[in-house]
Amino acid sequence: MTETPGKELTPQLQAWLEAWKTCTQNVLSQVSAQTITFEIASEPLPTVDSDLWFTIVVGGAVRGEMSLRLPSTSGMHMAQKFLGETEPAKDITTEHKEALEELLRQIAGLAATALAPAAGGEVQFHVAASSAPSWSSASTTCFRAPDEAGDLVTFEIQISAALSSALQSQVEQPPAAKPAPAPAPSSSASYGRLLEVGLDVKLRFGTRRMLLRDVLALSAGMVVELDSQLHQPVDLLLDGRVIAQGEVVIVDGKYGLRVTEIPDSAPSA
């Protein structure tokens, strides 16, 4: 792992880069059907005109930019593995570049999931082919891994100063104080909101249990005898529960109930 002169990697940056290395290993191992393990390079990669550059814009819980640089041979090797090509190619094609970009998106998606807990929330990565970055780099990290043929697959990650600062601020910020719970509404206020709720009540003159064949045999003119006596109080029901009892009266040509008793609603011991 190489660092920008005069700057030392923070634990947050080390954890961030380690997650990217692990996710790259996992995806490439799955694509190539063999275990690939990256090692930290002792020296930075030499820069040549044929290098492939990708910009990774970071959003969500932390914000900033990263760049990923690959030698064209490493990029083509990774793209061919992704496409399932077995014959070596002489030059990297547009199809190879598109396959490599899609491969990097899959790595970024896996890294976003892995980094979310440490970042304190959802992390988003937007990967796109680009040129060398114009922003200053806070750190540069190189990784390399031999493939089954012994050829090296190498890549380099640069972290922008903005992303490095955002990662550091996640640690330096004190935990947010939990807001004080809202005071519980008073009983009178709670009941007041319910007083205008409309409820359906019913009068029950009596009941009777009937066999299904007797119900099916009902016809106009038949009398169904109930279990209540003539002068026995009728029940006022709310959702099937007796809330009052009384006697039937006539009010302006309509049935009414004169309440004579309110059953005790307190539960028995």
Question: Beta partners for 124?
Answer: 59
Residue pair 163/115 in contact (Cβ under 8 Å)? The answer is no
Task: Cite the residue boundaries of each domain of the chain with CATH code 2.30.330.10.
Answer: 199-261
Q: Is the pLDDT of residue 245 over 80?
A: yes
d(CA 227, CA 207): 6
For the chain, how many helices (H) and strands (E)? 6, 10
d(CA 185, CA 200): 27
Q: Is the pLDDT of residue 115 over 80?
A: yes
**Residue 177 has what pLDDT?**
52
Amino acid at 93: T
Residue pair 162/57 in contact (Cβ under 8 Å)? The answer is no
Mean pLDDT value of segment 94-112 = 92
Write out pLDDT tens, residues 180-202. Answer: 566 655 555 556 666 777 788 88
d(CA 103, CA 127): 10
**Residue 112 has what pLDDT?**
92
Just give the CATH number of 11-172: 3.40.1550.10
Write out pLDDT tens, residues 199-232. Answer: 888 888 888 888 988 889 888 888 888 888 877 8
Sheet holding 241-251, edge to edge: 201-204, 234-238, 241-251, 254-261
Tokens 């059907």 belong to 33
- pTM for this predicted structure: 0.60
Please, what CATH class does the domain formed by 199-261 belong to?
Answer: mainly beta
Which residue from 256, 258, 254, 238 is spatially nearest to 246, judged by alpha carbons? 258
Task: Cite the residue boundaries of each domain of the chain with CATH code 3.40.1550.10.
Answer: 11-172
Mean pLDDT value of segment 48-55 = 93
